[in-house]
Amino acid sequence: MQALLISLPAVLFIVDPIGVVPLFVTMTAHDDAAKCRAMALRACITAAGVLIFFALSGSLIFRFFGVSLSAFRVAGGLLLMLTALDMLRAQPPATRTSPQETQEGADREDIAIVPLAMPLLAGPGAIATVMTLMAQFNGDAVSAAAVVVSILITLGITYLVLRSANGVKRVLGQTGIAILERIFGLILAAIAVQFVFDGGKALLAG
């Protein structure tokens, strides 16, 4: 339960389903509701698969490139902080997508895999987060399961949000979405600071 309480907020706030709503609505403006729901489902399944893959294979990647967990914590924390700062300004995080990618998505017939699943949902920040979370639990099977469950819960919530994206945007409005973005950004910034602090302390001790 402790691992779940640590993992779920970190994964949920970095994936940020509410923040994806305006982009999803823009890119699917000319698609019917059934097609939007189908694309949202495939995107969430794909993003969950990508994040679970990197979570489970993170230790192998660390060993292959000779990167220590402490160094990756610092790097992941800095990446999360960049994302959090954009969220605090209620701007689309530049670490996940660019205006050019958003426009390309709007021109695509099907956006489920690119750019929705990657990089909007399973972007560099989300991948770094799940790898860092998994590594800091030191191979404990129960804690690792908690990370995987957090990914599944997050993408389940994301699907429910995206399938009702137009309604969510209409109810919250641009102001409501911006307020939630800033709240998520503040919490994510605190998580980023903790990652950097833990990683830096371990590097100095080493």
pLDDT tens digits for range 99-114: 666 666 656 678 899 8
Element (H, E) at 97: none
Return the pLDDT at 4.
94
- pLDDT of residue 83 exceeding 60, the answer is yes
Specify the range with the lowest mean pLDDT, choosing from 35-39, 50-54, 57-61, 149-153: 57-61
Report the C-alpha gap between 9 and 4 in whole angstroms: 9
Residues 73-92, mean pLDDT to the nearest whole number: 85
| Most distant CA atoms of the chain, gap in Å | 56
What pLDDT does residue 108 have? 67
Q: Mean pLDDT, to the nearest integer, of 14-40?
A: 91
User: For residues 92 and 74, which has the higher predicted lDDT (pLDDT)?
Assistant: 74
With CA atoms as reference, report the closest residue to 130 among 110, 150, 113, 112.
Answer: 150
pLDDT-derived band at 144, boundaries 50, 70, 90: very high
Q: Has residue 149 got a pLDDT over 90? A: yes
pTM of the model: 0.86
- Exposed e or buried b for every residue in 152-188, given b needs 16+ CB within 10 A? ebbbebbbebbbbbeebbeeeeeeebbebbeebbebb
Mean pLDDT of 75-94: 83
Task: Look at residue 162 in the predicted model and tell me its pLDDT.
Answer: 96
In this predicted structure, what is the pLDDT of residue 16? 93
The length of the chain is 206
Instruction: Determine the pLDDT at residue 71.
Output: 87
Residue 173's φ and ψ, nearest 5 degrees, are 70, 170
pLDDT of residue 104: 63
Whole-angstrom distance, CA of residue 185 vs CA of residue 9 = 12
Please state, in angstroms and rounded to a whole number, the distance separating the CA atoms of residues 132 and 70. Answer: 9
DSSP string, 42-96: HHHHHHHHHHHHHHHHHHHHHHHHT--HHHHHHHHHHHHHHHHHHHHTT---TTT
| pLDDT score at 24 | 92
122 DSSP 8-state letter: S
Could you tell me the CA-to-CA distances from 123 to 2, 45, 139, 146 in Å, in that order? 25, 14, 24, 20
